[in-house]
Each structure stands twice: as structure tokens, then as C-alpha cells.
Amino acid sequence: MLAYLQGGLTALALPPLLLVLAGFAGGLLAWRGWRPGALLAVVAAAGLLLLATPLAAGLLRATLEREVTPGIPAGGVPLGAIVVLGAEMVHGRDGGDVGPLTLERLRAGAALHRRTGLPLLVTGGPLSPGSAPIAVLMARSLTADFGAAPRWVEARARDTRENAAFSAALLRGEGIGAAYLVTHAWHLPRAQAAFARQGLATAAAPVRLDRVPDGRLSEWLPRADHLGESWFFLREWVGRLVYALRD
């Protein structure tokens, strides 16, 4: 129930739903004779179009990725593991499986494992009631698709904060004080801050550090998938604000 409530509040607080509701409200107010309502509707529509452009999505992503410094040793503490954070899952006729974002992280984690020889830890609990923990699906994919079975499977965490808490506890029990952290570059600042609060030093191992938009014409053309990207990055900033206030 808490997960559904949190998801509903997040949807209401962020575009596109927030802007759609604002547009409806503005149109209704304009129809009832309040002229500024028309301006509200126009601004909401313009905001939706702007967030659907590669330019807006790319600039939002860049505000998160500018803080990422890949491969910097974590405070001089020897790196003893590779932590791969779960993302999303997909549901098919044969049951659940890792989604595209999770698969990208697994691919990067497996490559880092082959390069360094360090053991892998995958982390993530059930993403919906009745579903398998995402960490279990990640372990299955790592073994079957990449030939890199993880040493640890942390299958309880419901969010990044718990990823950090439970993973840090597992690694400290093994005498490990620092680890590579594998997740998407836009997610790394929040994730590394969460691990730091748990006393585990991390070295950034970002998935896909993208280029910063330069304003070329093609970056002004709206597309639905870029609206989804903008939603991801705005949600990430909200998550960072919530973590900062709560922790």
C-alpha cells in the first residue's frame, strides 16, 4: 500500500501528469470566464512540449551527471566488491525478467568483474506485490547471459536508501570497506550519497555518461520517449531532495 501511495504522489507531483492537470484546470477556468486560465493552459502545453525535446531531457540529465567522477579511488580504502543496483523489470508470458535499464547495469557490472576480478553483489527487492525480487532476476541474468554469477544477492531493498543500507551491512560482514558502484550516471550522485551515509566508500562506475546537448536543431524536436527521460531525471532530483531532508 505504501508503494502505491508513494507512486501516486510522485505521479501527481511531476510532469507530465502535473502539467496535464494544470492545462485542464486552466482551460476550465478560462471557459468559466477567468482569462488568466488560458495563459495557464498555454504554459502547461508549452512545458509538456519542451520536456519532450532531447534538449530539455539532455540538460536535465547533465545537471545530474556533472557530479560524477568515474574511477576515482574511494578514500584510499581498497575496493573489495562490485555493487550493481537494480532498476526496473518487465513482465512477459514466462514471468518477470530484468528490464532494459537493469540489463545495461548488469552488462557494465559483468564487464567490470571480468576486468578486475572483484566479486559481484546485486541488490533490489520486489518491485510490485507478488513479483520476484529484482536482485534474484539480476542474479539469474548475470549467470545465464554473462557467465558471471554474483557472490551476494541482496533481495530486500525497496529503494536506493535500502540498497545502500543492506548492501553495506553485507559487505562490512565480509570485511569489505569500499566497492565499485554500478548504476546509471544520472543516478550515481544520489546512490553514492546514500552509501556514504552508511559508511561504505564507493568508486563511481557509471553506465552511459552522455554528451551535453549543444542546441542543434534536431534537439528541439519533441518526442514521447524524451518526455519519459525528463520524468526520470526530474524524479531523480525530487529523490535527492527527499533524501537530503530525511537523512
Where does the pLDDT of residue 2 fall: very low under 50, low under 70, confident under 90, or very high at 90 and above? very low
Q: For residue 244, what pLDDT is reported? A: 82
Higher pLDDT, 130 or 54: 54
Asked if 84 contacts 182 with a C-beta cutoff of 8 angstroms, the reply is yes
Q: Are strands 89-92 and 95-98 parallel, antiparallel or unpaired?
A: antiparallel
Asked if 17 contacts 227 with a C-beta cutoff of 8 angstroms, the reply is no
Query: What are the counts of helices (DSSP H) followed by strands (DSSP E) for the chain?
Result: 9, 7
- Share of residues in the chain with pLDDT > 70 (%): 93
Contacts of residue 167, defined as CB under 8 A and 6 or more positions apart, other chains included, come to 83, 121, 123, 152, 154, 157, 179, 195, 200
Give the angle 112-117-120 at the CA atoms, nearest 5°.
65
Q: For residue 128, what pLDDT is reported? A: 85
Segment 51-84, tens digit of pLDDT: 999 999 999 999 999 989 887 765 677 899 999 9
Segment 142-169, tens digit of pLDDT: 999 999 999 999 999 999 999 999 999 9
Q: In whole numbers, what is the pLDDT of the chain averaged over residues?
A: 90
Distances (CA, A) of 54 to 30, 215, 241: 31, 9, 24
